[in-house]
Structure 1
Amino acid sequence: MTNDESPSPRTQPSAPAAIVQAGHHLSSLGLSRGTAGNVSMREGDLITISPTGAVLGNLAPQELAVLTMDGAHVAGPRPSKEYPLHLALYRRDPEARAVVHLHSRHAAAVSCLPPWSASSALPPITPYFVMRVGQTPLIPYAPPGDPVQAEGIENLGFAFRAVLLQNHGPVTAGTSMAAAIDAATELEEACAIILALGDQDPVPLSAQATADLSRRYGSPWSS
C-alpha cells in the first residue's frame, strides 16, 4: 500500500452469512435448542429469515427465505411462521437491521410471570439490562405465528427494542446482528437474575440512575 492509499473499509457480511453466523453462535451458547427460534436481517426492503423448522446451529446461506416488508415470500424455502414478529419490529423502527427470536429458558420462564409494569416485564435490575436492552413489554399470549400478536407489537405507543411474548420467549431487534444478539443474551441474563432471586423482593436501579443510563446509551426506558 502506498502512502496516499487509505485502508479499505471492513467488509460487512451479507445477510445470509450474518444469519448463519448468528444461528451457530446462539446455538453454541445453548440459547436455541432443537428447532426453537428464528433469526432475520433486513437489507433495503427485503428481509432474509431462517426457514420454518430450521435448527439454528445447522443453517446454510442457500437455505434461507426472503420476504418483502409486507410479508410477500419472494425466494427460498417457506419462512418461519414467526415472521410477522420480525416484520413488526422492522416496521416500528427504520433503524432496525436484525431481529432475533428465541425460546431461551430463563426468558421463557419470566414470560410466564406477571409483568413488572405496563411497559416492561422486568424492572431495571442491572445497568447492562437498561443499557443493552431497555424496557421490554410483555406481549399477551397468542398462538405462535398469529399475526394479531405482531399487530399488537407494531401498534404499542411507546419505544422499545425487545419484547417478551407471554408463555413463549423473547424477541430482540438491533441496528446490527451483533446488537440484536447482545440484547438477546443480556435479556436472558437479566431474566436469570430475576429467577435466582426467587421470592425475595429485588431492589431495582433508582429512577434517576435508570434515566441517566437510558439517556447516555440511547436505550428506551419510560417506566
Structure 2
Amino acid sequence: MSEEARLRDDICLMAKSLYDRGLTAGASGNISARLSDGRLLVTPTGSSFGRLDPSRLSLFSADGKLTDGDKPTKEMPLHAAFYETRPQKTGAVVHLHSCHSVALSLLSEVDPDNMLPPLTAYSVMKLGKVKLLPYFMPGDPAMGDAIRGLAGKRSAVMLAAHGPVVAAKELEAAVYAIEELEETAKLAMLTRGANPKLLSDAQIADLVKTYDVEWD
C-alpha cells in the first residue's frame, strides 16, 4: 500500500473513531495530514466523520492548490496557518466541536492564555498551554491570522464557542492530544466550583523539562 493510500485510510479510521465516541457530531470537525512530499490530504466540507470515503478526500499540491477530491473544509485557513508557522512540528491538524471543551470556552473565568487548568500530567505533556482565541465566524480567514499571530508557539488552541484545534507531527499524535484536551475540559467542568487540587508549579516545571513541553 502506498503512503497516500495508507494515510487516506488512517484519516477515515481516526475520524470514525472520534465520531463513534461522540467527540464530534453531524458534519462538524475537520482533519488534515501532510504526505512526505508536502502534499496535503483534507476532509471535505459538509462531510460526516462517521462516513468519510478515502477516495473523496481533498488533495492539495505542495504549493497549496486543490488537485483532486471533493471541495475541502472551509476551515482551510486555520489548517494552513499551523503548517506555515510550525513547519517542522506539524504533520497533521485536527479540529473538533467537542462538547466539554466548547462549554469551558464559554466561561468568563477561563484564562485565555492557558484555558485548561493543570489537573493531570497528561494534559500538560500532550498539549502544553492551550490558547483561547476569540469567536470567529466559521470559515473566517481571520482564524488563520490569529494562529499566525502566535508565531508558532502553541500546538493547541481553542476557538471560543466553536471547538479545539490541535497540531502534531503525526496524525495519531494529533488525535490523541485533542482527545486529552476534551477529557481535561470535561474534568474541569465536573470539578468546577469544587476547588480541585491542581498540579503545583514545581510539578509542572518537572513535566515541562522531562518531556520537552512547550510552555511559553
TM-score (norm 2): 0.91
> What number of residue pairs does the alignment pair up?
212
Give the percent of matched residue pairs that are identical in Structure 1 and Structure 2.
37
Q: Does 1:27 align with 2:24?
A: no
SS at match of 2:137: coil
What displacement does 1:85 show? 1.1
State whether residues 119 and 136 of structure 1, in contact with CA within 8 Å, keep that contact through their aligned partners in structure 2: yes
Query: 1:18-50: per-residue Cα shift (whole Å, max 9, x none)?
Result: 211111111122112110111110113221100
CA distance, structure 1, for counterparts of residue 144 and residue 93 of structure 2: 13
Runs (5+) with no aligned partner, structure 2: none
Question: Which position in structure 1 is the counterpart of 2:42?
Answer: 49
TM-score (norm 1): 0.88
Question: Which position in structure 1 is the counterpart of 2:69?
Answer: 76
Query: 1:79-98: per-residue Cα shift (whole Å, max 9, x none)?
Result: 01011111111112122111
Query: 1:85-136: per-residue Cα shift (whole Å, max 9, x none)?
Result: 1111111212211111000110111121236434211222211100111110
Question: Which position in structure 1 is the counterpart of 2:101?
Answer: 107
CA distance, structure 2, for counterparts of residue 66 and residue 13 of structure 1: 12
Structure 1 segments (4+ residues) deviating >4 Å: 68-71
Return closer, same or farther for 1:131/1:12 CA change in 2, 3 Å cut-off. farther
Mean Cα displacement is larger for which, 110-119 or 84-93? 110-119
Query: Aligned ranges for residues 79-90 of structure 1 at < 5 Å?
Result: 79-90=72-83
Runs (5+) with no aligned partner, structure 1: 1-10
Letter in 1 for 2:52: L
| Cα RMSD for the two superposed structures | 1.9
CA distance, structure 1, for counterparts of residue 90 and residue 81 of structure 2: 11
Question: Which position in structure 2 is the counterpart of 1:6?
Answer: none
Q: Does 1:200 align with 2:200?
A: no
Question: Which position in structure 2 is the counterpart of 1:126?
Answer: 120
